[in-house]
Amino acid sequence: MAHIEIDQNELRERLTPEQFTVTQQAGTERAFTGKYWDTTDDGIYSCVVCDAELFTSETKYDAGCGWPSFYEPVSQDKVERRVDNTMGMARVEAVCAKCGAHLGHVFPDGPQPTGERFCMNSASLDLALDDS
């Protein structure tokens, strides 16, 4: 999927410094510090950069890692996977398929039915609470 282009100056004005570092420079917030790591509210988690819907609270679980974790995105075409060889290891980076924002990483140690853990940064997400 081709990514939309978003002006970096506009993003610097709109996002917090941490959100910009995480989404645009593949940064990582410290474990147990993000605003969604232990949130149990019902809703939809969207990309903080482009508002694309990425995850639902129904697939969120406590992985004990200190970051919001999900076992699958709302659909496979919403989150793009890339090889990440930084930090001296091979990992799978997760980015927003619409805008290319860095979200976090995907690990093969999640619960069923997928067995995957989408370990996301709170700084890359916005939660829209369910009205019900």
Domain hosting 114: range is: 8-23+42-129
Helix (H) or strand (E) holding 21: helix 17-25
Domain-located, residue 75: yes
Count of domains observed in the chain: 1
Q: Which amino acid, one-letter code, is at 16?
A: T
Domain-located, residue 115: yes
Distance between CA atoms of residues 62 and 59, nearest Å: 10
Reading the block at residue 118, the tokens are 């989408």
Residue numbers in the chain where pLDDT is lower than 70? 1-2, 132
Domain-located, residue 35: no
Domain-located, residue 79: yes
pTM: 0.93
pLDDT digits (tens, 9 = 90+) for 95-108: 999 999 999 999 99
Helix (H) or strand (E) holding 128: strand 125-129
Burial of 55 (0-12, 13-18, 19+ CB in 10 A): buried
Active site residue 96: no
- The confidence score (pLDDT) of residue 86 equals 80
Domain-located, residue 1: no
* CATH number for position 123: 2.170.150.20
Active site residue: 47, 96, 99, 119, which one?
119
- The confidence score (pLDDT) of residue 90 equals 83
- The confidence score (pLDDT) of residue 89 equals 78
